[in-house]
Amino acid sequence: MTWFERYKKLSQILLHDVGARDGLQMEKQVVPIEQKIKWIEGLIQAGMDIIQVGSFVHPTKVPQMADTDALFKHFMLPDNKPERTVLSCLVLNEKGLERALAAGVDMICMGVSASETHSQKNTGMTIADATQRIIAMAKTAVHEKKRVQVSVQSAFGCGYEGHVPAERVMGIVQRFLDEGLTTISLADTAGHATPDQVERCFSMIRAMDEKINMACHFHNTYGLALANCYAAMKMGVLYFESSFAGLGGCPFTAIAGGNVCTEDLVHMVQKMNMREDIKLETLIAIANDAAAYFKREMPGAIYKIGPIRKSELKRLS
């Protein structure tokens, strides 16, 4: 069975929009909660599987995330809570986890950097210390019956250190597996990944345990995000993180580039006859709204030129 046949049998990959968190954290202009709610509601209407509402971090560190508790309070109200969309968050420490549990978050994401320099800048800890801390937090969240995703950040390279050895990445993955954590993401924080590297790393992970739910998070710093998503699909990755309008970037890396663009990713997979249930036009409208709000052109392609229609494909074939 080919990789594509496996996906057709599954009938879908799972799409995780992180725009309200990773997408906005780099923006100097603090977006009011009403605008965030509007964009998140649009993503729910579009049919995204998972939406990352925010991160539970100190407001002085990332002012854009100061309203995360209020956002979850809004979306946990009976009239506002989506029926099928999972609402996720990012946490960096025990205090953030405590707030996430109090907020009733569906899915909690947390990670460890495979770069010592990035780890120190992002968390103030060594890789070893951060790994031990994150594992303890993840087990607490699992005990509270929460969905948990753990990630390896800077998994394909670091803006400060350059090359990150795959053995170091796999060592962190193995630690996660040893503790029973099986939803694992590789995050290309610096945007250094190449498709062959993506295939190689996820192949190594799959060889560790075929029951792993593999996830990916690519930044488009050097224009390779969509190509890397395709490479991840070939390796059986299930969860794909992206950001509406291609917003985003890590404030603690050397060169911050936006995430893979949600509407561009959805357009690609729909041309491959997958996830036709997602409302692409709604995603395009959100991207247009983001461009108008920030008064600048967004990095995505599809919101500017429009999707290829099926009628056009037939005519060109």
- 313 versus 80: which is more confidently predicted? 80
Give the whole-number percent of the chain exceeding pLDDT 90.
78
Would you state the structure tokens that stand for residue 51, as one six-digit string?
A: 């939406």
What is the tens place of the pLDDT at every residue in 81-114?
A: 999 999 999 999 999 999 999 999 999 999 999 9
Name, in order, each residue with C-beta under 8 angstroms of 239's C-beta and a sequence gap of 6 or more. Answer: 13, 14, 16, 50, 149, 183, 185, 213, 214, 215, 216
Query: Cα separation of 149 and 108, whole Å?
Result: 6
Contact 69, 31 (CB under 8 A): no
**Residue 124: its pLDDT value, please?**
75
How many residues are given for the chain?
Answer: 317
| Banded pLDDT at 61 (limits 50, 70, 90) | confident
250 is catalytic: yes
**Residue 120: its pLDDT value, please?**
79
Query: Cα separation of 292 and 286, whole Å?
Result: 10
What is the tens place of the pLDDT at every residue in 150-209?
A: 999 999 998 778 899 999 999 999 999 999 999 999 999 889 999 999 999 999 999 999
Helix (H) or strand (E) holding 135: helix 127-143
Query: Would you identify the CATH topology of the domain 3-316?
Result: TIM Barrel (3.20.20)
C-alpha 304: how far from chain center: 23
DSSP 32: P
- Spans of all domains in the chain: 3-316
Contact 230, 268 (CB under 8 A): yes
Contact 121, 161 (CB under 8 A): no
Q: Contacts from 164-169 at CB under 8 Å and sequence distance 24+?
A: 164/114, 164/115, 166/200, 166/201, 166/204, 168/114, 168/127, 169/114, 169/201
| Statement: residue 315 has pLDDT above 90 | no
From the candidates 201, 216, 229, 250, which is the catalytic residue? 250
DSSP 273: T
**Residue 316: its pLDDT value, please?**
44
- The three-state secondary structure class of 242 is strand
Query: Cα separation of 232 and 236, whole Å?
Result: 7
Contact 260, 242 (CB under 8 A): yes
Would you state the structure tokens that stand for residue 110, as one six-digit string?
A: 């947390």
Residue with tokens 């996906």: 7
